[in-house]
Copies of this chain bind each other. A is one copy, B any other.
């Protein structure tokens, strides 16, 4: 009764076999489609022997599970959406990596988008993502359009905002205060004896983390009684290394006696340092420079660059864990939490005071 003499040699040809469905696998094995479906999950109750036979058939036929059908009936898309400003920025791609890694073996897949630092683009992306019915969504920053907030609210899925502490969080938060982190860097350098502080970075509303770092800088310089901070702005994000170089030139033209320059990110700091060297200035001899983010480049660069180390990977990882928690124990712990991630000052050569 188990002899199936149907021809089964027309596989490996692609195209025609594409319409292979679970029911056909079931028929091939001699069970119901439901049993095949169960064989694909780990928790389901299927006898080892049946599962083995099914999996052999799956292999022989080259069947691939169709999740889009499955997610419709189970009402679980298996997606987590995440939006970052840019994937070219290694800080954010580290975060994306953290998310992906945390999602491993959960059956959830990451749907990644980049907003290009634009709230409008973010709004569009959020809508595009929600159309896929993600089970949760991770955002960068706390600045969103009204419509975006409404859509997120209505979607009824957990939301995690990352990389900063929004004034009005939507739901969960995993991040740190960019302003305080920058403040810490200022104080740290002040305690090394630096007095005349310059800053390179934008004020644009596009990059709220950048703005927060800037205001942290200005506030702290003020608090320390070190006169008004000297700040230079340049183009819109994403910031380039080259712009850092241009900016430090203007800054030093305007305030030649500046002792140390803090930059919104390591990338601009690197650009600034390289431009200085190109012009024959010594760093930190003539001018000290610090960055933010502790990119790989900063430890390798000569001089190595003083910076704030941020746990980019951990932000992603923890954001995903928050989401998973919210999805599992949905009944319990409905509280929106703020998870603070660590940062620390990394003093390196670029701000070393020469012994004198």
Tier of interface size on chain A: 35 or more
Report the minimal beta-carbon distance from A305 to chain B, rounded to whole angstroms.
11
Q: Which residues of B contact A114 (CB under 8 A)?
A: 97, 100
Q: How many monomers of this chain does the complex have? A: 2
The reply to whether A68 and B12 form a contact with Cβ atoms under 8 Å apart is no
Decide: A88 near B94, CB < 8 A? Known: A64-B127, A245-B300: yes
The reply to whether B302 and A14 form a contact with Cβ atoms under 8 Å apart is no
Question: In the complex, A245 Cα to B336 Cα: how many Å?
Answer: 46
What 1/0 mask marks residues of chain A from 78 to 104 whose CB sits below 8 Å from any chain B CB? 000000000110100110110010000
A-B pairs with the 9 shortest C-beta distances?
A: A14-B154, A14-B156, A241-B300, A18-B156, A15-B156, A274-B302, A277-B302, A67-B131, A87-B93
The reply to whether B68 and A72 form a contact with Cβ atoms under 8 Å apart is yes
Question: In the complex, A158 Cα to B93 Cα: how many Å?
Answer: 28
What 1/0 mask marks residues of chain A from 319 to 345 whose CB sits below 8 Å from any chain B CB? 000000000000000101000000000
Report the minimal beta-carbon distance from A235 to chain B, rounded to whole angstroms.
15
Q: Which residues of B contact A150 (CB under 8 A)?
A: 12, 62
Q: Which residue of B lies closest to A277 (CB)?
A: B302
The reply to whether B88 and A131 form a contact with Cβ atoms under 8 Å apart is no
Does A10 make an interface contact (CB < 8 A)? yes
The reply to whether A241 and B132 form a contact with Cβ atoms under 8 Å apart is no
Decide: A96 near B87, CB < 8 A? Known: A131-B66, A132-B68, A301-B274: yes
Question: In the complex, A174 Cα to B73 Cα: how many Å?
Answer: 38
The reply to whether B18 and A155 form a contact with Cβ atoms under 8 Å apart is yes
Q: Which residues of B contact A18 (CB under 8 A)?
A: 154-156
Does A224 make an interface contact (CB < 8 A)? no
Q: Which residues of B contact A97 (CB under 8 A)?
A: 87-88, 114
Decide: A151 near B62, CB < 8 A? Known: A131-B67, A241-B297, A299-B242: yes
A interface majority secondary structure: helix
Question: In the complex, A277 Cα to B12 Cα: how many Å?
Answer: 55
Does A41 make an interface contact (CB < 8 A)? no
Q: Which residues of B contact A278 (CB under 8 A)?
A: 302
Question: In the complex, A67 Cα to B79 Cα: how many Å?
Answer: 13
Does A111 make an interface contact (CB < 8 A)? yes
The reply to whether B14 and A155 form a contact with Cβ atoms under 8 Å apart is yes
22 A-B pairs (CB sep. < 8 Å): A11-B154, A11-B171, A11-B334, A12-B153, A12-B334, A14-B156, A16-B156, A18-B154, A62-B150, A67-B132, A68-B132, A72-B72, A87-B97, A88-B94, A88-B97, A100-B114, A109-B128, A240-B296, A241-B296, A242-B300, A245-B300, A274-B300
Taking CB atoms and an 8 Å cut-off, the chain A residues in 114-146 that contact chain B are 114, 127-128, 130-133
Decide: A271 near B300, CB < 8 A? Known: A62-B151, A68-B133, A88-B90: yes
Q: Which residues of B contact A111 (CB under 8 A)?
A: 109, 111
Q: Which residues of B contact A241 (CB under 8 A)?
A: 296-297, 300
What 1/0 mask marks residues of chain A from 147 to 191 whose CB sits below 8 Å from any chain B CB? 000110111101000000000000100000000000000000000
The reply to whether B87 and A154 form a contact with Cβ atoms under 8 Å apart is no
The reply to whether B274 and A156 form a contact with Cβ atoms under 8 Å apart is no
Report the minimal beta-carbon distance from A326 to chain B, rounded to whole angstroms.
9
Does A31 make an interface contact (CB < 8 A)? no
